Amino acid sequence: MGESSGGLVFSLESECEALGAELAAARRKVATQEGAIHTLERRLELADLVIEQLREDNERLGLDHLTQLPNRGALERELAKAWARGERTGESMAVVMLDIDNFKRFNDEHGHAAGDAVLSRVGTAIAESLRASDFAARYGGEEFCLIVAPEHGYGARELAERVRGAVEGIELPDLPHVTISAGVSVAYPRRGEELGAKGLVDAADRGLYRAKDRGRNRVEVWLP
């Protein structure tokens, strides 16, 4: 009986040692996994900080982080300068408002990453269509605004058509065809005139909505 008891004790002690070793190994594995998780969490935090810093830098520089075009703030400043220049020189000022057709479906049906890809590609197409003296910015959402150089004021519709054609040529795998509609407006700035740069943008915006009403993927002119 004593020998049997001793053997049982020895067996149980051996099993306990084995279980203890397994437990220690499991704890080491958990500790390693927790360390890996902590490292990943830290890397993610650092990546978020870098992204936020880049966005702040872009905002300070007047750039839209997604399209790398000037942002709304930079546009407002450029519009004021262009209107003031027209008042001084008597030259015309032309504005084009652009909007991606049916943009909501890209986000709703294909996800926001698809919508971001569309915005980025459209921004590139716009930038590549401009002359050095023209100005383009992301107005907000899926809208963009162009300020056409004074010497090209009455070529604003042609510029809008060139941008429209460039966007129509964008190819994005597994996504619907991308098109834009555009509204164009031209005026001669005058001191004390109520229209102002904002009024010119509003007029171009009305041309844009007329283009939408007439079937999209087209350019319409609306004179203030």
Q: Tell me whether residue 220 is one of the annotated catalytic residues.
A: no
pLDDT of the residue at 153: 61
Instruction: Tell me the C-alpha to C-alpha distance, in Å, between residue 5 and each of 10, 15, 17.
Output: 9, 15, 18
Give the integer Cα–Cα distance in Å for 77 and 213.
31
124-151 CB burial, b ≥16 within 10 A, e <16? bbbeebbeeebbbbbbeebbbbbbbbbe
Give the integer Cα–Cα distance in Å for 204 and 91.
18
Q: What are phi and psi of 55, to 5 degrees?
A: -65, -40
Q: Which helix (H) or strand (E) holds 36?
A: helix 2-61
Q: Compute and round to an integer the Cα radius of gyration of the chain.
A: 31
CB 137 within 8 A of CB 95: no
pLDDT of the residue at 7: 64
* pLDDT one-digit tens code per residue, 11-65: 766 777 777 778 788 888 877 887 777 776 677 666 555 555 555 555 555 999 9
Q: Pick the catalytic residue: 34, 41, 142, 161? A: 142
pLDDT of the residue at 25: 82
Model confidence band, residue 201 (pLDDT cutoffs 50, 70, 90): very high
CA torsion, ordered 70, 73, 75, 79, to nearest 10 deg: -160
Q: Regarding beta strands 93-100 and 180-187, do their DSSP bridges make them parallel or antiparallel, or are they unpaired?
A: antiparallel
* pLDDT one-digit tens code per residue, 93-142: 999 999 999 999 999 999 999 999 999 999 999 999 999 899 999 999 99
Please check the confidence at residue 175 and state whether its pLDDT lies above 80: yes
CB 31 within 8 A of CB 40: no
pLDDT of the residue at 202: 97
Say which residues have a Cβ less than 8 Å from residue 113's Cβ, sequence separation at least 6.
none
